């Protein structure tokens, strides 16, 4: 699992930071899942090594413009390019009328398979929005000025590592049998032997997990959703000194984000959705927000546009 930040500013774009969007590259699949799609996200794709044609799912946190104004343009461009094999969209109830209204009033037609999945019950915690054999995506309501959701992606446990030497030592002919055994399945060889893949694999490997939490003020539900996640991406619109503004506008401070990471025992925290008021050169800079957060949760990074992070299992397990 690899995350690429395509926009890390809150409200409006700045010279160095576009508005919210994050691309998640999934292992063993040549597909991208996009989380939020602020204005200019398709331009950010052009400036990155990522390809919009690989987007298969788009998850929208809430209906504020800095998270959705890039969506109609991206969807239309994918249609014109003719290289999308389909998009599933997930988000708040109002997403459907927003997209359908824009498509209708601009006489646009989506020429690829396209589905809008509304999250209908905004008070439902740990709601499963998508699941297949490899991944599960859940969401939970946040505390913001409009209905907003945090999303969690869990990769399901994978079979243990295949012991190639043991397979060779048992004189198993290479070929399709190996791939079946690698999946832990039983196979019957031409010589009549029946082998169980589980005897050739190590212990199951835990899947990786990532949580995207924006926009919100400090939220217990978000902490519950993020429990034990390998990577938590949390909004950090304000510095601690601007706590009053955070309460007023229902956003987080750097210290709230760090406290959430600490209480959720996550492996790593990344701060994003930074207010343009902290541009470098101003009295408070993004590095000050990072410093504040690190005092509470040391394994914290500051997001910047085009930063890529591989989601990794932490070496030490949190014991608080």
Catalytic residues: 66
Q: Taking the complex as a whole, how short is the minimal distance between the CB of residue 217 and Zn ion, in angstroms?
A: 11
Encoding tokens for residue 244? 């009053």
Which residue has 């169980």 as its token pair?
196
- Beta carbon nearer to Zn ion, 66 or 242: 66
Coil, strand or helix: which one is 299?
A: coil
Q: Taking the complex as a whole, how short is the minimal distance between the CB of residue 144 and Zn ion, in angstroms?
A: 6
Bridge partners (DSSP) of residue 296 are: none
- Beta carbon nearer to Zn ion, 66 or 305: 66
Nearest to 181 by CA among 170, 192, 165, 167: 167
Query: How far is 22 from 12, CA to CA, in rounded Å?
Result: 16
By CB under 5 A, the count of residues binding Zn ion is 3
Query: How far is 304 from 156, CA to CA, in rounded Å?
Result: 29
Q: Taking the complex as a whole, how short is the minimal distance between the CB of residue 60 and Zn ion, in angstroms?
A: 11
- Beta carbon nearer to Zn ion, 155 or 254: 254
Compute φ and ψ for 168, nearest 5 degrees. Answer: -65, -40
Kindly identify the residues of this chain, within the stretch 261-320, that bind Zn ion according to CB under 5 A.
Answer: none
Q: Which stretch binds Zn ion (CB under 5 A): 81-89, 101-109, 158-166, 207-215?
A: 207-215
Q: Which stretch binds Zn ion (CB under 5 A): 109-117, 154-162, 188-196, 209-217?
A: 209-217
Query: How far is 130 from 136, CA to CA, in rounded Å?
Result: 6
Q: What is the DSSP letter of 170?
A: T
Q: With binding defined as CB under 5 A, does residue 215 bind Zn ion?
A: yes
- Beta carbon nearer to Zn ion, 9 or 209: 9
Kindly identify the residues of this chain, within the stretch 48-67, that bind Zn ion according to CB under 5 A.
Answer: 64, 66
- Beta carbon nearer to Zn ion, 57 or 64: 64
Q: Taking the complex as a whole, how short is the minimal distance between the CB of residue 220 and Zn ion, in angstroms?
A: 19
Structural contact between residues 234 and 272, judged by C-beta atoms closer than 8 angstroms: yes
- Which segments of 1-93 does DSSP mark as H helices, in order? 41-46, 65-68, 71-81
Site string for Zn ion, 63-102 (x = CB under 5 A): -x-x------------------------------------
Compute φ and ψ for 223, nearest 5 degrees. Answer: -65, -40
Q: Point out which residues bind Zn ion (CB under 5 A).
A: 64, 66, 215
């Amino acid at each position: 699992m690899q995350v690429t930040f395509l926009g890390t500013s809150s409200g409006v774009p700045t010279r160095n930071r576009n508005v919210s969007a994050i691309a998640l590259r999934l292992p063993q699949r040549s597909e991208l899942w996009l989380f939020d799609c602020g204005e200019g996200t398709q331009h950010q794709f052009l400036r990155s090594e990522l390809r919009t044609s690989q987007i298969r799912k788009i998850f929208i946190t809430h209906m504020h413009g800095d998270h959705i104004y890039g969506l109609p343009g991206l969807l239309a461009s994918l249609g014109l390019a003719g290289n999308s094999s389909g998009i599933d969209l997930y988000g708040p109830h109002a997403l459907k009328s927003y997209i359908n209204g824009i498509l209708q009033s601009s006489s646009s037609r989506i020429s690829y398979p396209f589905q809008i999945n509304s999250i209908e019950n905004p008070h439902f915690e740990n709601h499963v929005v998508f699941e297949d054999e490899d991944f599960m995506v859940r969401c939970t309501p946040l505390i913001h000025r409009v209905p907003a959701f945090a999303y969690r992606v869990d990769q399901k446990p994978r079979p243990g590592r295949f012991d190639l030497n043991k397979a060779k030592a048992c004189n198993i002919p290479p070929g399709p049998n190996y791939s079946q055994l690698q999946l832990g399945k039983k196979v019957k060889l031409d010589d009549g032997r029946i082998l169980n893949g589980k005897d050739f694999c190590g212990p199951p490997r835990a899947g990786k997990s990532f949580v995207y939490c924006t926009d919100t003020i400090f939220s217990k539900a978000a902490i519950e959703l993020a429990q034990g996640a390998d990577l938590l991406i949390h909004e950090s619109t304000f510095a601690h000194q601007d706590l009053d503004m955070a309460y007023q506008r229902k956003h987080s401070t750097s210290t709230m984000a760090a406290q959430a990471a600490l209480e959720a025992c996550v492996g790593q925290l990344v701060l994003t959705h930074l207010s343009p008021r902290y541009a470098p050169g101003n009295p408070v800079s993004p590095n000050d927000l990072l410093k504040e957060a690190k005092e509470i949760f040391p394994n914290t990074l500051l997001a910047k546009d085009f930063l890529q992070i591989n989601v990794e299992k932490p070496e030490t397990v949190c014991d608080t």
